[in-house]
């Protein structure tokens, strides 16, 4: 696998950090600038809240032996999230594994530890999670007039592309692959002024951050389309959460944390602290993502499209300098949700905000949960620093891209935040 610049910096920072395994990875640092022809005038207008949002859910394993019950339960939780936010299923298309044919394909472990299988059981399930059904939904979305905002949730498995990790794939039923570039080809056919947000929880999901580029290729310019996404982990790492265990109280994956932050209710029905970090009365996708970075007690390294893009702007010397500055310096310059991440992760790691990141890092096992917190914090510092640099001295083209991606990620399901205020 590639030796990532960001991880190299972390290992250097942590002296003889005891990173284990070969799965450590970070999104490739771009060698080219893909922003040459982009201006603020190219930023598409957002759809108004008067147009109903459309939802697509693709879920399940590619075959019964890895079609885990946790994936089905993720769909149940997404439905409950929509219900909490006052959204009916009338604008949701749901495709799961083998669909409604009655075959017992969902794998689970029963109370005495035996492997068993059952048919899918999802309210208002529309059919199997096939490439044809997925493509048809995107084609139908493109025909709506006026263009409507859309949200695409994928909870399943991912395939790693050894030859090109920028073009990993999600695995649909009967082990059909949809690569980054194939999905982006569908997205390229949508109207540029139609907002589309995706949340993807599969292994190697961060590769799909490349959907911001034309044809899904990071060597191409950033597309004019208004699209963005949130991902459980980076392009070269597996994610956690796919399990045949049935007790949802034990689920600690990205989906659990993201939707808890978005709705204010966790998957067991308990209220969580509000993720409305800017106190504007609603929880944005970016705020739910920030909530998940702290809440998700796993080895995942969650990222978003703008974050992968930001980190491609940072060079080795710049990262070294960022890590050498007091943490509090970056908190003072950050957006509210990024302030929360730095403060909360710093608190989990017992850090002093008056001291630097590099000055406080001990030897770290980056395959541990604690190691994941260090990585998430390091990524957040880079995000904050590069945003500041772009806003202060970046070109108009770069600023326009940052603005477009930020606006997309700051969208929401458009309901005032009703979560409790207990922390």
Q: What share of the chain is helix, strand, coil (3-state, %, to 5)?
A: 40, 15, 45
Compute how many other C-beta atoms are within 10 angstroms of the C-beta atom of residue 406: 15
Is the CB of residue 16 less than 8 Å from the CB of residue 363? yes
Q: pTM for the whole thing?
A: 0.90
Pairing of strands 150-159, 169-172: antiparallel
Q: Distances from the Cα of 117 to the Cαs of 63, 202, 291, 298, in angstroms?
A: 12, 22, 34, 27
Instruction: For residue 238, give every residue at least 6 positions away whose Cβ sits within 8 Å of its Cβ, in sequence order, or none.
Output: 23, 203, 204
For residues 220 and 216, what is the distance between their CA atoms, to the nearest angstrom? 8
Is the CB of residue 1 less than 8 Å from the CB of residue 25? yes
Q: What is the pLDDT of residues 73-93, one digit of tens each?
A: 999 999 999 999 999 999 999
Per-residue tokens: 330: 């970056």
Alpha helices by DSSP H, listed for 167-209, are 180-188
pLDDT of residue 12: 55
Which residues in the chain come in under a pLDDT of 70?
A: 1-50, 414-423
Is the CB of residue 67 less than 8 Å from the CB of residue 103? no
Is the CB of residue 378 less than 8 Å from the CB of residue 18? no
Q: What is the separation of C-alpha 234 from the centre of its chain, rounded to a whole number of angstroms?
A: 9
For residues 150 and 364, what is the distance between their CA atoms, to the nearest angstrom? 40
**Residue with the two structure tokens 């794939």:** 169
pLDDT of residue 20: 26
């Amino acid at each position: 696998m590639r030796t990532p610049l960001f991880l190299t910096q972390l290992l250097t920072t942590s002296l003889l950090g005891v990173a284990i395994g070969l799965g450590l990875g970070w999104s490739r640092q771009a060698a080219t600038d893909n922003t040459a022809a982009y201006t603020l005038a190219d930023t598409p207008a957002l759809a108004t809240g008067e147009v109903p949002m459309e939802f697509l859910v693709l879920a399940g394993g590619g075959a019964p032996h890895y079609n885990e019950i946790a994936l089905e339960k993720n769909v149940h939780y997404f439905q409950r999230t929509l219900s909490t936010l006052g959204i009916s299923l009338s604008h949701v298309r749901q495709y799961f594994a083998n669909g409604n044919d009655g075959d017992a394909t969902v794998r689970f472990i029963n109370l005495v530890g035996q492997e068993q299988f059952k048919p899918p059981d999802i309210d208002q399930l529309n059919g199997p999670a096939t490439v044809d059904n997925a493509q048809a939904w995107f084609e139908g979305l493109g025909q709506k007039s006026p263009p409507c905002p859309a949200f695409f949730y994928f909870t399943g498995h991912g395939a790693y592309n050894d030859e090109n990790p920028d073009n990993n794939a999600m695995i649909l039923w009967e082990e059909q692959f949809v690569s980054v570039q194939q999905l982006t080809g569908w997205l390229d056919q949508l109207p540029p002024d139609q907002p589309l947000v995706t949340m993807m929880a599969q292994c190697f999901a961060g590769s799909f951050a490349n959907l911001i580029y034309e044809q899904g290729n990071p060597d191409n310019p950033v597309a004019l389309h208004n699209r963005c996404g949130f991902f459980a982990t980076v392009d070269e790492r597996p994610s956690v959460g796919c399990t045949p265990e049935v007790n949802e109280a034990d689920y600690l994956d990205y989906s659990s944390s993201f939707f808890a932050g978005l709705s204010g209710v966790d998957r067991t029905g308990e209220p969580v602290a509000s993720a409305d970090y800017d106190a504007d009365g609603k929880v944005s996708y970016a705020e739910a993502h920030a909530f998940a970075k702290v809440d998700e007690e796993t080895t995942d390294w969650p990222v978003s499209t703008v974050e992968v893009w930001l980190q491609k702007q940072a060079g080795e010397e710049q990262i070294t300098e960022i890590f050498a500055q007091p943490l509090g310096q970056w908190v003072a310059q950050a957006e509210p949700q990024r302030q929360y991440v730095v403060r909360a992760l710093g608190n989990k790691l017992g850090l002093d905000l008056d001291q630097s990141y590099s000055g406080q890092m001990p030897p770290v096992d980056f395959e541990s949960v604690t190691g994941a917190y260090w990585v998430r914090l390091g990524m957040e510092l880079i995000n904050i620093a590069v945003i500041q640099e772009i806003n202060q001295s970046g070109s108009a083209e770069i600023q326009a891209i940052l603005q477009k991606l930020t606006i997309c990620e700051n969208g929401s399901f458009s309901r005032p935040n009703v979560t409790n205020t207990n922390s």
